[in-house]
Amino acid sequence: MIPHLLRIWFGLREPVTRYQYIVSGLFLIALKYVVEAAILWMAKGNLLTPSEFVDPLASSRLALFGDVGAGTVFVWTLPFVWIGLTMSFRRAIDAGYRATTGAIFLLPYVNWVMIVWLSCAPSRPTGYRIDKPYVGIPPPWAVILASFAGGCGIGGGMVALSVYVLHDYGGTLFVATPVVMGMVSATIASRYGRLGYAASVSIGQSALILSLLAMVGMAVEGLFCVLMAWPLAAILVWFGSVLGWFICGRGSDARRTFVYLAVLSLPSIAWQESRQRTPLLHEVISSVEITAPPDVVWKCVVSFPDLPPPDGVFSLGIACPLRARITGTGVGAVRYCEFTTGPFIEPITVWEPGRRLAFDVIAQPPAMRELSFWSDVKAPHLDGYLNSRRGEFRLIAFPGGRTKLEGSTWYEVDIHPEGYWSLWADGFIHAIHDRVLRHIARLAESSAQSVQIDHAVGAP
């Protein structure tokens, strides 16, 4: 019985009939449900309902199981994804459809419709049938599928471990994991299919894109964050694919051992990294020249009315400043800066009218709203991984009644590689500065012109 089930689940060379697909599928669903229900009962003493069981959203899993429980369930789910995907591919072939039809298994909610459809479809002798085991290498689609699964499994497992168990967005996740993903994909391809350099690289990049899309589809991340991570990850996956193809292309088992050791070392490196890192403090400085004296500019710095509606990069979900006000005057007053994601609360630390206004940040909203077709994506990096520490406005008097207004923000980013992510953070903070400084400039110049007109009208 068990060997027969294993052939159905892992035998890439054999078709899956309708009966095998239904019986095996029901057994796997029951097994997965029982284990996840046990995890939830032991963690919180709650029962797992069928609707909660089929919900693919990461935010729902976090709310239901908690961080550690959700990470455990995520890792537990990975082999079921592999088995369900490969069985769907082979069931589609047995039913006379293209193997790629089985890829619908990866789409949330739609996959249940496909499962029912494949469960009802009869075997067709005109389809591409595998009547006897292959001698030698598996068919090309099986090699590609196994390579995809290897790369995606490494990526998914490390996301679950790093983000939901270790609560860490470190270099192991963003640098080492993409390299190993590429190496694993190329190793599997060269081991079973002797695929060339171009095919190995293409498989690695496809596995990366599939992993990123899966994170968006499961509400683990938003589309914009995935697009920010993709350029760095694509380069590193390419490097890993080339390295894996070079190491394993000649079929040396000793060389493949290097790849296996690299896979096994990822969890321990991630664990060590999460416990020995201190974020650096970055400063972003922006400035604008205003045709108005410092005393006029100061009044607009202290408090200004609503800014125009968000546009440009802010339309993608980046936190956008809307208005600012200060309660009280002098050191100890509190500045409230309203953003689209919530308020910054900023106690005043320096109050020098016409010259300098400085403040600390004691509370801040999320840095962005995730861009997604899901209504509520709560990516962990939105809370506590990009922290503003303090800010400052400096007014420098220029001849001719002009003022140079400088704005500074000091922040920490606890996502690595820090140099890469600070480039994005610097750009977004510059955009926020530019929006606020130009708004203050318009208000100050308009106020200065009004004063000049009043003086002109009142002159003898």
**Band of residue 140 on the pLDDT scale cut at 50, 70, 90:** low
What is this structure's pTM? 0.71
- Sort 431 into a burial class: Cβ within 10 Å, 0-12 / 13-18 / 19+: middle
Task: Label residues 264-295 b or e (16+ Cβ within 10 Å = b).
Answer: eebbeebbebbeeeebeebebebebebebbbe
Residues β-bridged to residue 338:
323, 343
Cα 92–Cα 95–Cα 99 angle in degrees, nearest 5: 25
Cα 173–Cα 189–Cα 175 angle in degrees, nearest 5: 15
The listed range with the strongest mean pLDDT (86-90, 300-304, 388-392, 397-401) is 388-392
- Which amino acid, residue 177? T
- Sort 80 into a burial class: Cβ within 10 Å, 0-12 / 13-18 / 19+: middle
Residue 249's φ and ψ, nearest 5 degrees, are -65, -25
CATH superfamily of 281-458: START domain (3.30.530.20)
What's the mean pLDDT when you consider all of the chain? 82
- The torsion of the CA quartet 140, 142, 148, 152, rounded to 10 degrees, works out to -170
Q: Where are the domains of the chain?
A: 2-273, 281-458
pLDDT of residue 177: 93
Rounded to whole angstroms, the Cα distance separating 28 from 240 reads 33
- Whether residue 440 contacts residue 304, with contact meaning beta carbons closer than 8 Å, is answered with yes
Residue with tokens 């007014």: 395
Q: How does pLDDT run across 195-217, given as a tens digit for each residue?
A: 677 777 888 888 888 888 888 88
